[in-house]
A and B are shown apart, each in its own frame.
Chain A
Amino acid sequence: MADEKIINKLLENYEGLMPKSLIEELRSKLSKIDVDEEKLRKIIEKVYKEYVDALVEPGEAVGTVAAQSIGEPGTQMTLRTFHYAGVREFNVTLGLPRLIEIVDAKKTPSTPTMIIRLDEEHKYSLEKAKEVASRIERITIENIAKSIEYDMINSSFIIEIDEEVAKDKGITKEHIIKVLEKLKIGNISVEGNKIIISCNVISPEKMKKLREKILNLKLKGVKGIKRVLIQKEGNEYVIYTDGSNLAGVLRVKGIDPYRVYTNNIFEIAEVLGIEAARAAIIREAYKVLEQQGLDVDLRHIMLVADLMTATGRIRQIGRHGISGEKSSILARAAFEVTVKHLLEAAVRGEEDPLEGVAENVIVGQTIPLGTGMVELYMRFPQRGK
């Protein structure tokens, strides 16, 4: 067995030169083989050389390679939206539509969901998890009412409460009455499982509006969370939700605020910052590709995420984002809405320094990639010397 002290001493010199994961791998593998110091040094040197050789060289078209590496498997993805078969009752957009959503930086995903993990106290028991879930799920009168009728003769609303549902959701009649009283529309009385609100005589249109208002009255929960589902993962209970509201859920007691996850990237950017949004883009995009069985290197997706978040806010890849904000007129014109860009540039008398790839292809020059990146400047002999 090689001496750990020697390995550590040798590896110390490469701290910062090689990535941490590589150094750790070397450390664990080297400690298992039996070689002397000289050989160890040679092995590490060789590994370092291989690492440097594997690095991307200056002038490599990483963006193009990333585009191709994501685009080609993308053509193999089914255009049809498949839905989750694993999680009951939930539909989550996956596949190409979801990938498009991510790179187009849509403000809200078509199926927003959250994964909420619970704190130490609540995560091991179903009862306690249900308690937290009931604090999160948004419940309106509509959810617990069997029927709502308008009695024309007495000009009153009759809400019939489904007592079983109400009990299941943990809502008492007193609570409902309290909320209804805040509306201030008339006297409230209770008859068995019916709540009667008597109000002044009103027109049918007003009645309809009022009915809507009563139905959408919030009893409890977080805004935007339509449904919750408790699932067991390993030995802990996890709450899945339909609908997403990160800022709202973070305020709920009983959750683990540091492991809450949503698929709404803009919410993450707002609450946790642009760096978290970058991580979320990578995670979401990779999840989609992985789920479809496509083996895309994570680094291509990282490049996309880096580009999308480079200005401190999330930009889409496309006409209204990265491609539309290129400095070169010709490159923009080559992408989409050609005439508009050319016309505007002509009106303003803009110049194109021909620094990018697309514009040099257009004019037929060497493109600034690889060896074409190098430019020669001549220094003229100065006069008088």
Chain B
Amino acid sequence: MVKFDIFKHELVPKARILSKEEVENLKKTYGIRKEQLPWIRKNDPMCKALGAKPGDVIMIIRKSEIAGEAIAYRYVVPW
């Protein structure tokens, strides 16, 4: 059987890891620290699939009924 790709599941939104500069930009635009973003655990299936490490910020592109597309961020935490 082909390996199960969680990103193809209808409940899972598209996501990617943000680069360092993008994280800096994000922090500046919202005037926040990384830890103030919602969290995601490092052993979350999504983090595993992306290969995200604690300290990374993940950008999530959610499909939204209201806005069409909504962007959210999550900070990878080590627990």
Alpha-carbon distance between A250 and B40 when the two chains are bound, in angstroms:
23
B4 to chain A: which residues have CB within 8 Å?
Answer: 250, 257
Within 8 A of B (CB), among A14-56: 19-24
A258 an interface residue at 8 Å Cβ cutoff? yes
Q: How far is the CA of A258 from the CA of B4 in the complex (A)?
A: 9
Contact A272 B11 (CB under 8 A): yes
Given contacts A19-B68, A21-B67, A274-B44, contact A268 B11 (CB under 8 A): yes
Q: Hey, which chain B residues are within 8 Å of A24, CB to CB?
A: 68
Q: Check if B40 sits within 8 Å of A279, measured CB to CB.
A: no
B9 touches A272 (CB 8 A): yes
- Taking a contact as CB atoms under 8 Å apart, the answer to whether A313 and B41 are in contact is yes
Residues 266-292 of chain A: 1 if any B CB is under 8 Å from the residue's CB, otherwise 0? 001011111110011001000000000
Q: B65 at interface (Cβ–Cβ under 8 A)?
A: yes
Knowing A258-B8, A280-B11, the reply to whether A272 touches B45 (Cβ < 8 A) is yes
Q: What residue of chain B has the Cβ atom nearest to residue A277's Cβ?
A: B11
Contacts of A258 in B (CB 8 A): 8-10
Query: Judging by beta carbons under 8 Å apart, are A19 and B44 in contact?
Result: no
Set of chain A residues within 8 Å of B26, measured between Cβ atoms: none
Docked pose: A299 CA to B67 CA in angstroms: 10
* Residue in A closest to B45 when the chains form the complex, CB atoms: A273
Q: Mark A307-322, 1 if CB is under 8 A from B, else 0.
A: 0011111000000000
For B65, list chain A residues within 8 Å (CB). Answer: 298
Asked whether, in the complex, the Cβ of B12 is within 8 Å of the Cβ of A273, the reply is yes
Interface size class of A (residues with CB under 8 A): 20 to 34
Extra pairs beyond A19-B70, A273-B40 (4, CB < 8 Å): A20-B68, A274-B40, A312-B39, A312-B77
Whether, in the assembled complex, B32 has its beta carbon less than 8 Å from a beta carbon of chain A, the answer is: no
Instruction: Give bound CA distance, A111 to B46, whole Å.
Output: 27
B21 at the interface (CB under 8 A from A): no
What string of 1s and 0s marks CB contacts (under 8 Å) between B40-79 and chain A? 1100111100000000000010101111111000100100
Q: How far is the CB of A246 from chain B (nearest CB, A)?
A: 10
Q: Is the interface of A mostly helix, strand, loop or mixed?
A: helix
The answer to whether B67 touches A276 (Cβ under 8 A) is no
> In the complex, are the beta carbons of A274 and B66 less than 8 A apart?
no
Contact in complex: A274, B68 (CB < 8 Å): no
A261 vs chain B, min Cβ distance (A) = 8
The 4 closest A-B pairs by CB, nearest first: A20-B68, A21-B68, A19-B67, A273-B46
Secondary structure dominating the interface of B: mixed
Given A250-B4, A299-B66, residue A275 in contact with residue B12 (CB < 8 A):
yes
Q: Are B45 and A271 in contact (CB under 8 A)?
A: yes
B60 touches A275 (CB 8 A): yes
Enumerate B1-46 residues with CB–CB distance to A below 8 Å: 1, 4, 6, 8-13, 15, 38-41, 44-46
Q: How far is the CB of B25 from chain A (nearest CB, A)?
A: 13
Which residues in chain A, 251-273, are within 8 Å of chain B measured between CB atoms? 251, 253, 257-261, 268, 270-273
B27 vs chain A, min Cβ distance (A): 18
Bound CA span A378–B16, Å: 43
Give chain B residues whose Cβ lies under 8 Å from the Cβ of A261.
Answer: 10-11
- CA–CA, A83 to B58, complex, Å? 40
Which residues from chain A contact B39 at a C-beta distance below 8 Å? 310-312
Question: Judging by beta carbons under 8 Å apart, are A272 and B6 in contact?
Answer: yes
CB distance from A313 to the nearest CB of B (A): 7
A-chain residues with CB within 8 Å of residue B9 when the two chains form the complex: 257-260, 272, 276
CB of B16, distance to nearest CB on chain A (Å): 13
Whether A20 pairs with B44 at a CB distance below 8 angstroms is no
**A280 CA / B70 CA spacing, docked (Å):** 16
A142 at the interface (CB under 8 A from B): no
Give the residues in chain B near A272, CB-CB below 8 Å. Answer: 6, 9, 11-12, 45-46
CA distance A270 to B64 in the complex (A): 23
A252 to B, closest residue via Cβ? B1
Q: With A20-B68, A21-B67, A21-B68 as known contacts, state yes or no: A274 contacts B41, CB within 8 Å.
A: yes
Q: Do the beta carbons of A276 and B68 come within 8 Å of each other?
A: no
